[in-house]
Amino acid sequence: MNKKIAVIKGDGIGPEIVTEAEKVLNKIGEKYGHTFEYTDVLMGGCALDATGVPLPQETIDVCLASDSVLLGAVGGPKWDTLPGNLRPEAGLLGIRGALKLFANIRPAKLIPALASACPLKEEITKNGLDLVIVRELIGGAYFGKRETYTDENGVKHASDSMAYADYEIDRICRVAFDMARKRGSKLHSIDKANVLDSSRLWREVSHKVAKDYPDVEFQDMLVDNAAMQLVRNPAQFDVMVTENLFGDILSDEASMITGSLGMIPSASLGETSLGLYEPIHGSAPDIAGQNKANPIATILSIAMMLR
Ligand code: IPM
Ligand code: MG
């Protein structure tokens, strides 16, 4: 096959880890007779420095014209004080939105060779950890209306709204149920339905979708409980589906159980075959340029891309 890959190396350790992943991809190409054509595009802090915006239109255009997008990481202290819409992270959210990548798949697996790096007691991880977090990626608090203002009394206010439409919940739940069917046929839907309206809608819609998957064992769990259960008995989970913010937090927690934040890859998918593949970790500016960042999560991300 011959595939076009848009490459966003980004900031911090991004360029180093992506370069390692490209080496692996090239080797695979050589060995199995595939060609991968890379086009480097800018996003994040490096794009800000070069063009004044974190996500240039050209980057979106090149990504849309590619078969896949490979991404390192964005962000760094240099750009931390910029307003929200100009931060490197806005570029990342922007590209996920522009490509309509609503489903973020984050597999976490504890491999035996790394068991000693897992901070949990052996009695907790003796049954292993092998789960997938299906995170909704273009809705919720990260994409809702935000506001910062000072009122007439000089009091400063800020808000972010966590909004979901039923169809957004429906489509991500279907991705998760399909995933569960291919694995252990067990799905936990994580929400905060005892407090949040958006979670109550989540619960209503997920239960409706569950009717189409009677073969999958389905259970709700409140997010605070889920955070606790992950470190109490991680082996109980197979697939977890959750909204954007909860998925962001729980996937970092799950990654630590694998021994390192540098171990979890991800695939961001939408309705077409165009996907974006990136490690779940950030740009780690403190270790950038020292050739010690772990590239495994990026290499595993290209494994997901090839699949
Ligand atoms: C992630 C990251 C991003 C997110 C940041 C960098 C915007 O934490 O991919 O998990 O929150 O989605
Ligand atoms: Mg995160």
Cα separation, 260 vs 101, whole angstroms:
26
- The rounded Å distance from CA 79 to ligand 1 centre is 16
Active site residue 32: no
Whether 252 is catalytic is yes
For the CA of 96, the nearest atom of ligand 1: 12
224 tagged catalytic:
yes
pLDDT digits (tens, 9 = 90+) for 200-259: 999 999 999 999 999 999 999 999 999 999 999 999 999 999 999 999 999 999 999 998
CA of 248 to the centre of ligand 1 (A): 6
- Residue 169 · residue 179 · CB < 8 Å: no
d(CA 145, CA 301): 31
Whether 220 sits among the annotated catalytic residues: the reply is: no
Atom of ligand 1 nearest to the CA of 251: 10
The pLDDT tens digits of the residues spanning 77-105 come to 999 999 999 999 999 999 999 999 999 99
- Strands 2-10 and 35-40 turn out to be parallel
- Tokens, residue 254: 């799950």
238 is catalytic: no
Say what the pLDDT of residue 97 is: 97
282 lines ligand 1 (CB under 6 A): yes
Candidates 259, 252, 274, 226; CA nearest to 96 is 274
- The residue annotated as part of the active site, out of 166, 224, 286, 292, is 224
Tell me the per-residue pLDDT of 135-191, one tens digit each, with 9 for 90 and over. Answer: 999 999 999 999 999 999 999 999 999 999 999 999 999 999 999 999 999 999 999
CA distance 98 to 226: 31
Length of the chain: 307
Specify the pTM.
Answer: 0.96
Q: Which atom of ligand 1 is nearest to the CA of 244?
A: 12
Q: How far is the CA of 249 from the centre of ligand 1 (A)?
A: 9
Contact 193, 226 (CB under 8 A): no
User: Distance from the CA of 192 to the center of ligand 1, in angstroms?
Assistant: 20
CA distance 29 to 36: 7
Residue nearest to atom 1 of ligand 1 (CA): 280
